[in-house]
Structure 1
């Protein structure tokens, strides 16, 4: 996939792509993005599990490919749901794959995970086996040529296999509409500014994958949109998730924000300020995720 200031996109959002694993060192990892991916997995883990449980599988998958696995949120949720399955976790980032392998060892599931570093924007994909299930969460929109990638997935799948595409409406919102007091509606304006950046650099973000799947030779068996609302109260995890996300959104939104909005955003991101995001007790995680479940036509 083309490199992006990712997750600001969802992570802003979650997901990468991947080839031949050759190690990787933590100094090459975008630590801020890796933390957001881990927080995303922690905060939204229950919703991830519910999506996996919903999948219209004909039988329990034994071989799974996780495309754009990031630091492993989907990989470990799939391993937990399907205790007899093996997962091939694919990403462009050697650093993320190293983190994933360390987590697999810590959880005692390293023998059930294979990591593959690959650029899925090339024609020549590595050997990913013949999976019963291909899972792509917040990764397909990063593909430079989604149609080509969808064709590659169709050729990869075992007969009767399922392709699950999970995408997000954007990075979650956290603040009440009337916050902060000095600049009500600031969060939405920051997102709108970031959306302008993403429309240019990540054009498939927010796309309807149903028609693209059909055009690539899939039959979409089902589609579901999940609305997420998690009351954060004084949750430290939700606070860090909001802080990390808004900090990355600031990175792409700043040129399009006015000076008053930028000052208010910087105050929210100032951990020493009494008005810091981390001191608020009114944060709520609000987002939507849509999942398409498709088979080879």
Structure 2
């Protein structure tokens, strides 16, 4: 299905926009976004696995739909958690779906994955079967009309099936308090600038999905907030994740930052600088993720 809207950059988020497509080729923004999604999957793999293990399922699902699947972080976590299941992975980006298929082949899982390119903001969705589990991670808040999408999920979900909505409470922070030394508080000021932008462009970011799920005909069975705090010493990927994320934040925050803040941010992103985040040993990933587990009322 074709996307209904023009794609815009993802505004400093590691999430992906399931309602905007890229056509059949890899655009530069598509590749950058894919890099962040892959890093997100790498550094947060333990947290994703803990969420899939927590899900209050009545039976082990055999048919799963991953809405706004990106490059497959949730898809492969779910395949690992449920070895007898098949996953239908849905996204608007042909490039992301191609990467997901390549990963499935490399892991010998191509027979367990079906990819569907679709705009989740469309009036009508393609046939996604009758899944026992629908998973939507960091995707629903990007939709222009999430209420309609929630009703669509209710319509396709099996009678005893579970709908899991996973959302970031806030975009991750990476720098310690007081860093960088030349401009303490820079990261928070950059986030404040992006928050102002998001308020107008991504109004459902940070929303409480409980009331929206109830209004769409679901009963919220459980809700859980997971605190993420991963020290950079545990994985060199933390530095790469911070670098890619701060690059994206800069693209949105730059017009609102003063010259001193912008220069300090550019130094953090200068791979030739000794102060580049790729060289810092004091980074950490700090954020929260909230999960809503719901069933058809």
Cα 1:258–1:36 shift into 2, 3 Å: same
| Aligned partners of 2:22 and 2:95 also within 8 Å | no
> Is the partner of 1:279 in helix, strand or coil?
coil
Corresponding residue number in structure 1 for 2:165 = 165
Separation in 2 of the partners of 1:140 and 1:274?
A: 39
Residues 124-162 of structure 1, C-alpha deviations (whole Å, 9 max, x = no match): 100000000000000000111010000000001011110
Structure 2 partner of 1:263: 263
In the alignment, is residue 63 of structure 1 matched against residue 63 of structure 2?
Answer: yes
Where does the alignment leave 5 or more consecutive residues of structure 2 unmatched?
none
Q: Which residue of 1 aligns with 2:18?
A: 17
Q: Residue 102 of structure 2 aligns to a residue in which SS? A: helix
* Matching of residue 5 in structure 1 with residue 6 in structure 2: no
Q: SS at 2:273's partner residue?
A: coil
The 5-angstrom pairing of residues 102-113 of structure 1 reads 102-113=102-113
Give the alignment of 1:214-253 within 5 angstroms. 214-233=214-233, 235-253=235-253
After TM superposition, give the deviation of residue 103 of structure 1 in Å.
Answer: 0.2
8 Å Cα contact 2:219-2:295 kept in structure 1: yes
Matched residue, 1:198: 198
Compute the displacement of 1:23 (Å): 8.9
TM-score (norm 2): 0.95
Q: Secondary structure of the equivalent of 1:180?
A: coil
How big is the alpha-carbon RMSD for the aligned residues of Structure 1 and Structure 2?
1.8
8 Å Cα contact 1:4-1:201 kept in structure 2: no
State the 1:235 CA deviation: 3.7
How many residue pairs get aligned? The number is 293
SS of the equivalent of 2:232 reads: strand
Check conservation: 1:22, 1:117, Cα contact below 8 A: no
Tell me the SS of whatever aligns to 1:192: helix
SS in structure 2 of the partner of residue 87 of structure 1: strand
TM-score by length of 1: 0.95
Q: Once the 2 structures are TM-superposed, how far is the Cα of residue 25 of structure 1 from its aligned partner? A: 3.2
In structure 1, the partner of 2:182 is: 182
Distance 2:15 2:137 in 1: 7
| Greater CA drift, 228-237 or 41-50 | 228-237
In 1, the alpha carbon distance for the partners of 2:210 and 2:27 equals 38
- SS of the residue corresponding to residue 24 of structure 2 reads coil
CA distance in 1, matches of 2:22, 2:93: 10
Q: Which residue of 1 aligns with 2:273?
A: 273
**Deviation of 1:16 (Å):** 3.3
SS at match of 1:69: coil
